[in-house]
Structure 1
Amino acid sequence: MTLQDRHKSDQDSALSDHLWHLEEMRWTTGRDSAVAVRDASATAIHPDLLESNEIWQCRPADTVWRMVKIDTRAIKLQGVVAMLTYRIRAEKADAPIYHAICASTWFDDAGTWQRLSHHHTPLA
């Protein structure tokens, strides 16, 4: 491995850590925080296809999960686009434990990573 390859590997690792941090924050912070890291044309699929502001109209402000565990992580980086896929186990007060398979697409918009799409499929 050349010094240049090692530097790129370190950059990819730091970027990967940053994107996983942003993704986890989407589960554990409030709606206003989530809106701040999504693109204006974002799409969500869970279970209906929702466009941009429709996502937040159907989501209560208090949908903060108190604990999330993300397993089976995978990330694909391609230029300014990153796709994260994972399984999640999430808990919040007065609700059953939520299990799902998720995928999110992020893109680098002039140095700021924005979530462009998110999909989750609940598991029984």
Structure 2
Amino acid sequence: MDEEGELWRLEESFWLGGAQTFRSSMADGAIMVFPYPAGILQGDRITDGIGSAPRWRSVLMRDRTASIRGNVAVLAYRAEAERESEPLREMLCASTYIREEGGWRLMSHQQTPVDASTAAGSSDG
């Protein structure tokens, strides 16, 4: 599998996997930014939060963009994800990976909800 394909596979595993995926594939000191109420999480707060939250049952990553420079990779995309008994959620996401011994590790991840005005392309100016 090529490097970019490996990164996208890893990214999907964070959506669909459990706390063990996070423990085995996150860099030390990783930071994640989620919509309210989760907010900004780092280290054990990430795995604790994942362990207590319902997992996603599906994710579709559209408009994929990747940039790999040496030992750093950034993925950006639009996610459509759903959990059991919850409506589909749409988010703009960005993840940064660093290559360490043993492979790629997630260093940061951010999810920004897509609202109707954003999806329709409206602007304030």
SS of match in other structure, 1:72: strand
Distance 1:62 1:45, change over 3 A: closer
Q: Distance in 1 between matches of 2:110 and 2:10?
A: 16
Q: Which residue of 2 aligns with 1:27?
A: 15
Q: Distance in 1 between matches of 2:74 and 2:55?
A: 23
SS of match in other structure, 1:86: strand
Q: Distance in 1 between matches of 2:51 and 2:88?
A: 18
TM-score (norm 2): 0.82
SS of match in other structure, 2:56: coil
Asked if 1 retains the 8 angstrom alpha-carbon contact of 2:80 and 2:91, the reply is yes
TM-score (norm 1): 0.83
Q: Distance in 2 between matches of 1:59 and 1:87?
A: 21
Distance 1:59 1:110, change over 3 A: closer
Instruction: Please state how far the C-alpha of 1:86 moved relative to its aligned partner.
Output: 0.3
Choose the corresponding residue for 2:43, options 34, 41, 52: 52
Confirm whether residue 121 of structure 1 aligns to residue 121 of structure 2: no
Regions of 4+ moved over 4 Å = none
Measured on the aligned residues, the alpha-carbon RMSD in Å equals: 1.5
Q: Distance in 1 between matches of 2:26 and 2:94?
A: 14
Asked if 1 retains the 8 angstrom alpha-carbon contact of 2:61 and 2:79, the reply is yes
Q: Distance in 1 between matches of 2:46 and 2:93?
A: 16
Confirm whether residue 42 of structure 1 aligns to residue 33 of structure 2: no
Q: Distance in 2 between matches of 1:26 and 1:74?
A: 17
Structure showing greater Rg: 1
> Structure 2: which 5+ residue stretches go unaligned?
116-125
> Structure 1: which 5+ residue stretches go unaligned?
1-12
Q: Which residue of 1 aligns with 2:68?
A: 77
Identity over the aligned pairs, expressed in percent?
A: 30
Asked if 1 retains the 8 angstrom alpha-carbon contact of 2:15 and 2:56, the reply is yes
